[in-house]
Amino acid sequence: MTMDTNTVLLLLLVGIMAGVLSGFVGVGGGIVMVPAMVWLLGYSQHQAQGTSLAVLMLPVVFLAVRNYYKAGVIDPKVVAVIAVAFVAGSYFGSKWSLSLPMDTVRKVFGGVTLLVAIKLIFGK
């Protein structure tokens, strides 16, 4: 991909939006970065998902986690248990995603996002 000024500005915009939403409500990768990279930058679904996961590796979220930890709202034991399961799940989930056609992955992504949105809007 060519990194012209327009592309760099779009990437910065995507990063800022994702960072603000991630720090504010705990979302950013799937909800902001993946659709933005597909729609604004022409990435494939697989490229966008892989890039989003790479961006969200440990150094990016450190400061936001630090703020929540200092506020006393993170239980490290819960984090450890979820992290172990998350590592295994993300490994197998990425393998599964890459084995499927992009249209299928895009539909699954859209369906999951829609179900979560409906639950958040109308659920208790």
* Number of structural domains in the chain: 1
Q: What six digits make up the tokens of 100?
A: 């499927």
Backbone angles phi, psi at 23, to 5 degrees: -70, -30
Domain that holds residue 104: 5-122
> Is the pLDDT assigned to residue 26 strictly greater than 80?
no
In three-state form (DSSP H/G/I as H, E/B as E, the rest C), the secondary structure along 37-58 is HHHHHCCCHHHHHHHHHHHCCH
Question: How high is the pLDDT of residue 104?
Answer: 93
Question: How high is the pLDDT of residue 24?
Answer: 66
What's the mean pLDDT when you consider all of the chain? 84
Instruction: Using a pLDDT cut of 70, give the percent of the chain over it.
Output: 91
Which tens digits make up the pLDDT trace of 46-92? 898 888 888 877 777 888 888 889 999 988 998 888 788 878 888 88
